[in-house]
Amino acid sequence: MRALPLLLMAGLVLGGCAHGGERLDRVAITETAERDPWEKTNRRIFRVSTQIDRYALSPVTNVYRTVIPAEPRRAIGNGYDWIQEPINLGNGLAQGKVKSAFRAFDRILINGFLGLGVADHASDMGLLEQEHDFGQTMAVWGVPSGPFVMLPFLGPSTARDAVGFFVDVVFDPFNPIQNRILSQEEQFIQIGVRVLDVRSSLRDQGEQLLQGAADPYATTRAAWLQLRRYQIFDGNLPDADDEADIPPPPGGPVDQPEPSGAAPSPSPSPAADAATAPSTLEVPGQAPGRSPG
């Protein structure tokens, strides 16, 4: 943990020198990731993860949702979001996004003291969570994405974002606290609850994305790469046309064909397009925590 302050200090220096625009666009999602040179192995991992989810994780999740009411489940999700805020804070600083880092600090205090870690009063005040991870930080620093990779049980990622995910895990400031106050058995229970919480959220987010897909793997890959680029740019894509490539939020309205002779509907405004852009994407087989990277 002594390395964390040094990492943040170096990040502030590098973040201050980082540039967005074309430079970030070149490294955010590279052509190597689009080509998917490891596709054969990735598809095998995807099949195994999907089968485990279908026959093991999904049935247990059904029991979890039946036994635990919606309000306690929401409190559990808020708790995991709260302990994620230090990672958002550290990576916000490392990317030179001081305002965003202070947003994470405010959420830590407000939800910690007023919400006891399980109520999201900060969002009620308009202080919505702004997620930052070390994969995004490395992109801001100029590290290319590398190939697309399907991590076992963790879901879609890239070589860069996979490294970033594990860096976030290693430097998570809550790990030493958990190691001190929780026994090994209690830590396993905590991980299990986290897995169920994430899998349960799929029912309300993006599970239907793969339903009826001719090639679920290709659909997952394309949607995740588009979403990841959107996340790296914090939603501020360099080309306005790129926003049309982002899949609509799960459960959102589906455009219906105009009846014959009907006048065409007016095109939505750019502000409306931005409001419908997704912030998260979960797929079957993905493990606890946010998407790697």
pLDDT digit string, tens, across residues 193-221: 988 888 888 776 656 667 778 899 999 99
| Whole-angstrom distance, CA of residue 291 vs CA of residue 286 | 7
Residue 238: the pLDDT is: 81
- 3-class SS string, the chain: CCHHHHHHHHHHHHHHHCCCHHHHHHHHCCHHHHHCCCHHHHHHHHHHHHHHHHHHHHHHHHHHHHHCCHHHHHHHHHHHHHHHHHHHHHHHHHCCCHHHHHHHHHHHHHHHHCCCCCCCHHHHCCCCCCCCCHHHHHHHCCCCCCCEEEECCCEEEEHHHHHHHHHHHHCCCHHHHHHHHCCHHHHHHHHHHHHHHHHHHHHHCCHHHHCCCCCHHHHHHHHHHHHHHHHHCCCCCCCHHHHHHCCCCCCCCCCCCCCCCCCCCCCCCHHHHHHCCCCCCCCCCCCCCCCCC
Cβ atoms of 162 and 152 closer than 8 Å = no
- pLDDT greater at residue 224 or residue 11: 224
pLDDT band at 71 (very low <50, low <70, confident <90, very high): very high
- Both tokens of 184, joined, read 């090994």
pLDDT band at 20 (very low <50, low <70, confident <90, very high): low
Average pLDDT over residues 88-112: 96
| pTM of the predicted model as reported, rounded to 2 decimal places | 0.74
pLDDT band at 291 (very low <50, low <70, confident <90, very high): very low
Instruction: Single out the residue of 178, 146, 175 nearest to residue 162, CA to CA.
Output: 146
Average pLDDT over residues 67-78: 93
Is residue 166 classed exposed, middle or buried when 0-12, 13-18 and 19+ CB atoms within 10 A define those classes?
middle
Residue 138: the pLDDT is: 98
138 CB-near residues (< 8 Å, 6+ apart): 160, 163, 164
Residue 285: the pLDDT is: 46
**Per-residue pLDDT reduced to its tens digit, 233-254:** 998 888 644 444 445 544 444 4
pLDDT band at 273 (very low <50, low <70, confident <90, very high): very low
- pLDDT greater at residue 72 or residue 2: 72
Residue 264: the pLDDT is: 46
- Both tokens of 228, joined, read 């990841």
Determine how many CB atoms are found less than 10 A away from the CB of residue 212.
Answer: 8
Instruction: Single out the residue of 222, 251, 232 nearest to residue 36, CA to CA.
Output: 222
- Give, rounded to a whole angstrom, the gap between the first and last alpha carbons of the chain: 21
Residue 288: the pLDDT is: 45
**Per-residue pLDDT reduced to its tens digit, 118-167:** 999 999 999 999 999 999 999 999 999 999 999 998 899 999 999 999 99
Q: What is the dihedral of CA 217, 223, 227, 221, to 10 degrees?
A: 30
Highest mean pLDDT among 21-25, 41-45, 52-56: 41-45
